[in-house]
Structure 1
């Protein structure tokens, strides 16, 4: 059965900070941020906005009245929820005027929340192909002032409408997983600022990527050249290419082409910053 993403919407606040200005304020070489991290600008989310309002803005741009009538499920992936009990999807359901007959819940699992929601939505549509599912990835990435994570802040919302008319991308259900309880990144309930061990987190990202990618290749008898494209989670723009370098032959002429395509794909990421669960390239 052919199911996948029919529409995608995005929203972020109109405010930002320039990374050159941040570098100068922190007495750092701007190229440390511009080249080393790959970040040029960073969205700043004002107090008048939160993950719900941003998701509502993103969804309002793509949903028609017909779409809303067919939505059976709203899955909200976020680690910046506005309530410890009530799901952000409940507020979104009300703001968008989606039927009360739709299931609505929230998933919190750091940067994996929206991906898990996407997989759950696809599974639902294989059983209910005439319906639709709305999946949201919205976050506000916030770190302490003058910390190593400060340059990887940002915020925004990505909404994906799933259906049996996947105009953007379809999914075949093939996947592999790896999970482990580690402390490279966490956000205790008593603070709005995330805690992160940056170097360790980079190592964990690459390790997890290699484990799952190798498992995928082995399970489905594939090699790197079999892929027309790869999608990466990018907490900062350069992270994806660092992982790709560990599996791609840098002496292969095709590698230069891959790098060029990756650089083109991070244009928006380099201007918006980190969305946690909504951050992909």
Structure 2
């Protein structure tokens, strides 16, 4: 097997027992997503689990290739590509992710979102199981709010509600060099105009004023959590439960 040999040589040369816990940025290319030095590349491999299609990441060493690998996959309204982060682990494995995109169009609006499914890979670059962490990382929604001149007046001319969600997934400063690193998940959610909500008809609110025409930060869905790896469960667990932010993250 060429792939494990190449990976083993590379890892012995530069990632011994003390690996800095950090995600290395990946640059998306036509066929793969690679680190800046080209040392490692992430591709996707399709499979089946029961009646469902599955997509998982695979790490390839420089000069390696797989005939069953691809850079992007689409199923219906979902798209898959490598997540733009790769973390070498102290045991020779990796943390790599799949960026799952979703979109929807509906009368007077639409939206798109992105979720990362993070996998633990072994030293050969293959996933050792299902995702160890799945979290939303990006979303943008636009919803029509005016249906006549009266509505335009009540809405001060702002005839669309806009919702945005952004998240960063990083290694904690004290993640350490052994075992599975602690991860920090930090999010920011905003709604425009101030005071709107997907769970309530905005026309039932008092008329908007010019001062309301700003993107307001949602304190509930703008948060930070520490994720630690639960060895028994085989997945990451947050230090506190995550709030329901589906109003921002689901198109």
Q: TM-score range by the shorter chain?
A: under 0.3
The answer to which structure, 1 or 2, has the higher relative contact order (CA under 8 A, 6+ apart) is: 1
Structure having the larger proportion of residues in helix: 1
TM-score by length of 2: 0.25
TM-score by length of 1: 0.24
* Pair member with larger Rg: 2
